[in-house]
């Protein structure tokens, strides 16, 4: 039985600051700026129209990666946002014993920002920290509409995007496991691992890869090897980058 270390879900989610990186989430309205909410970003694509936040993000990532392949940038962008959302949800669940409502209409996003994605939660409303709630918030609330929006714009296989979501989840849990063991919080490590295992069994993620301890081996490729100097990710299904394949395995 895992005993949770309960802390009040404070309006600034300050407990997440100690985790750093992908887990930190700023709260309240964005001072001096009017950033789009994620529900708007997941809306219908408007190619070439100013204000298409998702298209702007893909272009931003493509520039950072120095790739001319929009689908590669789209894959990396999706995995980056997935990692942010999973990290926040698992971090809150493990540290607070509660998660904030992460509804897309409550999250503002800077598509032109650097990695990790810049997110602002406008209202902090606590919800239960169980796997079903987290799946509803992240997997169904964000990653399903995000995948649909990207597939409407780019040639991306469903298996690739599902694999990205699973890889990001496993990576978030692995970072919490490392943090927990470094800081004498084995309860955090145990809680994150337990939630990750439950979430990976969700029908949308089941079969995307194999979790052994904290190590995940996916059954699809995120296309990162096509980035100049990219190579293979640590959990890739490939043993070596294809030399002349025009398309990567996508699951």
In a domain, 251, yes or no: no
- 98 is a domain residue: yes
Lateral strand order in the sheet of 107-110: 26-27, 118-121, 107-110
pLDDT value at residue 49 = 47
In a domain, 7, yes or no: no
Q: Please tell me the total count of domains within the chain.
A: 1
Give the domain range for residue 108. 14-226
Strands (E), 170-238: 209-212, 215-218
Q: Please give the chain's pLDDT, 251 residues, in tens.
A: 344 444 568 899 999 999 988 999 999 988 888 899 999 999 876 554 456 999 999 999 999 999 999 999 999 999 999 999 999 999 999 999 999 999 999 999 999 999 999 999 999 999 999 999 999 999 999 999 999 999 999 999 999 999 999 999 999 999 999 999 999 999 999 999 999 999 999 999 999 999 999 999 999 999 999 999 999 999 999 988 886 444 444 44
Confidence at residue 46, expressed as pLDDT on a 0 to 100 scale: 56
Give residue 8's pLDDT: 66
**What tokens were used for 141?**
């609330």
Contact 37, 104 (CB under 8 A): yes
1 found inside a domain? no
Residue 244 lies in a domain: no
Q: What is the pLDDT of residue 31?
A: 83
Contact of 79 with 168, CB cutoff 8 Å: yes
Residue 100's CB is within 10 A of a number of other CB atoms, namely 24
| 3-state SS class at 232 | coil
Q: So what's the pLDDT on residue 194?
A: 98
In a domain, 204, yes or no: yes
Q: Is 36 a domain residue? A: yes
Residue 97 lies in a domain: yes
Q: What is the pLDDT of residue 32?
A: 80
Tell me if residue 46 falls in helix, strand or coil. Answer: coil
């Amino acid at each position: 039985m895992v005993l949770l270390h309960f802390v009040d879900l404070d309006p600034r989610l300050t407990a997440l600051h100690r985790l750093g990186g992908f887990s930190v989430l700023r709260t309240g309205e964005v001072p001096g700026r009017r950033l789009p909410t994620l529900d708007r970003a997941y809306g219908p694509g408007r190619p070439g129209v100013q204000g298409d936040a998702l298209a702007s993000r893909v272009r931003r990532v493509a520039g950072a990666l120095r790739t001319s392949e929009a689908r590669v940038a789209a894959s990396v962008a999706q995995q980056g946002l997935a990692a942010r959302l999973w990290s926040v949800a698992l971090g809150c669940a493990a540290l607070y014993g509660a998660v904030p409502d992460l509804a897309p209409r409550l999250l503002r996003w800077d598509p032109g920002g650097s990695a990790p994605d810049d997110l602002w939660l406008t209202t902090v409303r606590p919800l239960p920290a169980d796997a079903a709630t987290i799946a509803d918030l992240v997997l169904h609330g964000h990653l399903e509409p995000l995948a649909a929006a990207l597939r409407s714009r780019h040639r991306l296989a469903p298996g690739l995007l599902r694999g990205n979501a699973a890889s990001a989840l496993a990576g978030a849990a692995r970072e919490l496991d490392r943090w927990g063991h470094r800081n004498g919080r084995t309860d955090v490590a145990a809680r994150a691992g337990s939630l990750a295992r439950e979430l990976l069994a969700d029908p949308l993620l089941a079969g995307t890869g194999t979790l052994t301890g904290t190590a995940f081996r996916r059954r699809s490729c995120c296309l990162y090897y096509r980035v100049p100097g990219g190579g293979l990710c640590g959990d890739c299904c490939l043993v070596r980058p294809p030399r002349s394949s025009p398309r990567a395995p996508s699951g």
